[in-house]
Structure 1
Amino acid sequence: MPEPSSSTRAPRIALTTYSTKPRGGVVHTLELAEALHSAGMAVTVIAMGEPGALFREVSVPVRMIAPPGQFDTLEERVFSWIDAMTSGLQGMRDEFDIVHSQDCISARAAARVRDAGAPFKLVRTVHHVDDFTTQALIDCQRNAILEPDRALVVSKSWQDRLLDEYGIAASIVYNGVKADRFRTKLTPERRAELRNRIGSGNRFLYLTIGGIEPRKGSEFLMKAMAKLKAERPEPPLLAVIGGHSFQDYRDYRDQVLGSFSEMGLELGKDVILLNTVTQTELVEWLAAADGFVFPSTKEGWGLVIMEAAAAGLPVVASDIDVFREFLVADEHAILTTTGDVDSLASGMARLVDEPEIAGRLVQNGMNLVAGYSWEATAEEHIRIYDEILRTQPK
């Protein structure tokens, strides 16, 4: 029998991502895929990695494309991954009506396959724009924004930037938060076990997520920790989750960690590197911590802030424009001046010293999270997919 026409069946959607690790774009991909599936959409996740490599199980079909080998430079790595993704998508070219890419690599690959005659429409969510330093990567990133049939963003800040810098009128579709996923009650024994594992004891335990890299404001965070240690008889402890990135930040990481001695910090005593953890462990650490700190200098939206708020943690964050779109200072978070060590240290100290504001942030944070659901995000995506298929010619 002939396959039903696109007008008589639900559109077939592929959500593509270059990674399997718990980075923001990958989290977005999996959460959106499951919400679309729950809404009755035929959705498949396509990721670069080995079978079973996704950081958590998902309730939708998953197709994996094997990544290439290792390469010396970022340019070589990016273009080899685009080639591998192109080859993998070419074998699926007739299976989808819409391919929705979450990153430059899969967007460039999907554009190649579409331009070679594949019948799908290409959608791209631009979470943020990287500060590449070579012209080849700058051009590659630019093309990954210009080539799709439709561009989406997750904040007004990035909508404005894409219009100003690329002439692209992108649609805003905010992220959601699966609040129940992050609300867990640890037994006193389990909470004590986790905290004792890193030597926190009764010290105020700050958690941050994203590893040590420039746009996470890691240098400023470590200097703020050093300032707090120098000024307070019982300074807070910082636990850092994450660190996997497609880009190589080893030099930056080594520079930051190498400055600990002159700052008076001790790795393993004042700052604990938990690296990449499972989804279950992540939720447990959010429940075991006392506060969440996120001094980023650039983000697409701030999904981990909302996840921390859903877990009941009070938040200290930088005051970048994208955070100010959904956070009100001293209502949802303590907002500190971006890149200002004194401001960050002061904000972190407030959370320790002012339990009344911590309690207010917790309650207001949970109320804020309640207004952002992946179900609503999926509904807006479905509307956009339908609009694309109805109004754009094949």
Structure 2
Amino acid sequence: MRPQRVAIVTHSTAPRGGFVHALSLAEELHRQGADVRLVALGDPAAGLFRPTTVPHTILPGPSKIGTTLGERVFAAIDTLAGGLAGMAGGFDVVHAQDCIAARAAVRVRDAGTPVTVVRTVHHVDDFTTQALVDCQRQAVLEPDVVLVVSEQWRRIVRDEYGRRAEVVHNGVDPDRLPAPADGARAGLRDGIGAEGRFVFLGVGGVEPRKGSVHAFHALARLRREGVDAMLAVVGGHSFQDYAAYRAAALAELPGLGLTLGRDVVLAGTVTEEQLACWYHSADALCFPSVKEGWGLAVLEAMAAGLPVIASDLPVFGEYLEDGVSALLPPVADDVALARAMRSLVHDAALRERLVTG
């Protein structure tokens, strides 16, 4: 009996958590001998953000992207479904990593291709347009099998969607985050003007789900107390448009007594090698998310030996213990977040305990 042929499908090749997860999953399945192929929308000429040995197909993105989020989502579904339709006969299982991929895979299945559609729900976006709300709901209801990455999201999928889901926790390969070459750490810190200052690292860009404004407000409290700390933020490439939130958050900085480029540094999208260097060069991760499916950045930071401040979201409580493996101040509590940040700045022994705990 031949092994099942599996497609790992995602809507983008952008080096964010979702695609990094999809690529890593495909690579591990391939390493174990599975017949697997990664399929994603992107630029075939540009390829992937890093080399890989896993078989993969990059389908050209929509020719007409549209201006609204809804137009972009539905154009991506149409394009991905069209690409999958031409190759889905070569797969027994199509494993969708997001709502766009799930809707595209279901469309191919419903057109008569005998495939089993598996959907991993990493999190559910807070869409406000009814068409997108409905689209996302169908992306949970229509697949044959639903997986989630945490117990919290198993409960959410059960209570809000009426679907039974199996939990498959996320993981991180520490070999992806090696210590940088000699001098790289000092060079990176010098490049952002750290000059001996305590560097908090933010991962995921400036966006609502990451609680960016709370990090800014907490950092401002430290600055008013004379604590010489800064925040470096990496990432920010997203299918959704957070430009308004980002602009409003950054516009607050002067009134908070913070200077963009000095107290808050935006490094933008980085390569995986550069991300590893950031994890090894910062002094602590500041990750005050208000919503997460799992929080890959937390695991990545821990794998690199970086102490972590997150928030007391239920999902973090599934693998972190407050005061033992991380500091978990209440969600959206700027005062408590500042207190946790202050503790890490002043207490080297605490930083060490969090890393080894």
Task: Please report the TM-score for the alignment, with normalisation by the length of structure 2.
Answer: 0.98
CA contact (8 A) 2:118 2:146 kept: yes
Tell me, in whole angstroms, the C-alpha distance in 1 between the residues paired with 2:179 and 2:109: 44
Q: What does 1:84-163 correspond to in 2, within 5 Å?
A: 84-163=79-158
Q: Would you say 1:203 and 2:197 are equivalent positions?
A: yes
1:347: how far off?
0.4
Q: Would you say 1:176 and 2:176 are equivalent positions?
A: no
Partner of 1:244: 237
CA contact (8 A) 2:178 2:304 kept: yes
Tell me, in whole angstroms, the C-alpha distance in 2 between the residues paired with 1:154 and 1:333: 20
Map Cα deviations across residues 193-233 of structure 1 (whole Å, 9 max, x no partner): 1111000010011111100000100011111111111112x
In structure 1, give the amino acid aligned to 2:171: G
For CA contacts below 8 A with separation 6 or more, give which structure has more relative contact order. 1
Map Cα deviations across residues 139-174 of structure 1 (whole Å, 9 max, x no partner): 000000001000000000000000001110100001
1:93: how far off?
2.0
Tell me, in whole angstroms, the C-alpha distance in 2 between the residues paired with 1:361 and 1:54: 34
Percent identity (aligned): 52
Partner of 1:35: 28
Tell me, in whole angstroms, the C-alpha distance in 2 between the residues paired with 1:13 and 1:247: 28
Partner of 1:271: 264
Partner of 1:385: none
Aligned residues: 355
Q: Would you say 1:58 and 2:52 are equivalent positions?
A: yes
Q: 2:355 aligns with which of 351, 362, 378?
A: 362
Map Cα deviations across residues 343-368 of structure 1 (whole Å, 9 max, x no partner): 0011011111111110011112xxxx
Partner of 1:369: none
Unaligned residue ranges in structure 1 (runs of 5+) = 1-7, 365-394
Tell me, in whole angstroms, the C-alpha distance in 2 between the residues paired with 1:33 and 1:239: 31
In structure 2, give the amino acid aligned to 1:199: G
CA contact (8 A) 1:186 1:287 kept: no
1:186: how far off?
4.0
Q: Would you say 1:227 and 2:224 are equivalent positions?
A: no
CA contact (8 A) 2:7 2:38 kept: yes
Tell me, in whole angstroms, the C-alpha distance in 1 between the residues paired with 2:35 and 2:260: 47
Partner of 2:40: 47
Tell me, in whole angstroms, the C-alpha distance in 2 between the residues paired with 1:76 and 1:53: 25
CA contact (8 A) 2:65 2:75 kept: no
65-74 or 266-275: which moved more? 65-74
CA contact (8 A) 1:123 1:148 kept: yes
Q: 2:340 aligns with which of 347, 364, 367?
A: 347
Q: Secondary structure at the match of 1:44?
A: strand
Q: Would you say 1:191 and 2:160 are equivalent positions?
A: no
1:302: how far off?
1.1
Tell me, in whole angstroms, the C-alpha distance in 2 between the residues paired with 1:75 and 1:112: 18
Q: Would you say 1:81 and 2:95 are equivalent positions?
A: no
Q: 1:167 aligns with which of 162, 167, 170?
A: 162
Partner of 1:70: 65
Q: What does 1:254-265 correspond to in 2, within 5 Å?
A: 254-265=247-258
Task: Please report the TM-score for the alignment, with normalisation by the length of structure 1.
Answer: 0.89
Partner of 1:367: none
